[in-house]
Amino acid sequence: MQGFFERVKADFDWIKFRVGHKFAFRAPRTVFFEDYRSESDVLKKSVQVNNGAMLKKGVQYNPNSTEQIFYLLLFHEIGHAVLGHKDFLTDVERLKMERAAWEEARKFCKKYDVFYDEDRVEREMDTYRDWLHSRSVCKTCGLTRFQTLDGQYHCPRCNEILGIMGKK
Ligand SMILES: [Zn+2]
Ligand SMILES: [Zn+2]
């Protein structure tokens, strides 16, 4: 029986799968995944967990199992690759890409019979939102700054003050 991961790799044979220190996508077509102590063991378990026949028999599986999370995160990165994502300039753009990649992951989960953990996905989205928020706050005055298309942040208050000072 072919390993589940092997099947996914074969289905996306145009993607380069590489072991990394975290799940990530690098344009145009490299997906990094976290290493496990024993990959063969993960594969064995993943085959069991994702075996539709077993699920139909009512065999319980833990939706938070490592394998389910592994494939959920992997599918997200594959989503970036399939959508042809490139580097983003603005954070809002990034947020849109993340959401789009999760929607792709949803399709793959359905196709491969992997549990699409909505809560987990929303937690991931929250980390991007928190990240975006922390980047947008002005360190000088605490006001929410805006980002221009070149990726630069500008504070409406501090920039205006600088502008006035510059004109003097
Ligand atoms: Zn992503
Ligand atoms: Zn400011």
Query: pLDDT tens for residues 131-162?
Result: 888 989 999 999 999 999 888 999 999 987 65
Q: How far is the CA of 111 from the centre of ligand 2 (A)?
A: 48
For residue 50, report the distance from its CA to the centre of ligand 1, in Å: 23
pTM: 0.75
Structural domain harbouring 90: 4-136
pLDDT in tens, 43-102: 455 545 555 544 554 545 555 577 788 899 999 999 999 999 987 788 888 999 999 999
Ligand closest to Cα of 157 equals 2
Measured in angstroms, how far is the CA atom of residue 77 from the centroid of ligand 1? 6
Clarify whether residues 132 and 142 are in a common domain. Answer: no
Residue 62 shares a structural domain with residue 114: yes
The verdict on 21 and 103 lying in the same domain is: yes
Which residues lie below 8 Å from residue 168, measured CB to CB, with a gap of 6+? none
Same domain flag for 105 and 160: no
User: Within this chain, do residues 122 and 149 fall inside the same structural domain, yes or no?
Assistant: no
16-20 and 30-34 as β-strands: parallel, antiparallel, unpaired?
parallel
Tell me the CB-side half-sphere exposure of residue 168, using CA atoms within 13 A: 6
